[in-house]
Amino acid sequence: MRRKRKWLRRVISRRWLVCYLVILGMTALWADRTEIVLASIGALLTLSGYGSGSRENSGSDTGSN
């Protein structure tokens, strides 16, 4: 039972973080603060795991010609 609560707490905190980043990004967009919008998008992509497979193949194409 204790393990399940830790997992649930992590999911809830992650959802709140995502909501915060979305609200921050939309507020920054309204205030015309491009750097904050881009930082929010980058943080959301990092949290979602986007591009995690690209590191494995980054050095495989060098010197193949």
Domain ranges of the chain: 2-46
Output the pLDDT for position 4. Answer: 62
Closest CA to 25 of 48, 10, 44: 44
Rounded to two decimals, the pTM is 0.53
Residue 40 exposed, middle or buried by CB count within 10 Å (0-12, 13-18, 19+): buried
Closest CA to 26 of 11, 37, 12: 37
Output the pLDDT for position 61. Answer: 53
Top-confidence residue, 12 or 26? 26
pLDDT tens digits, one per residue of 18-59: 888 888 889 888 888 989 888 998 888 888 887 776 555 555
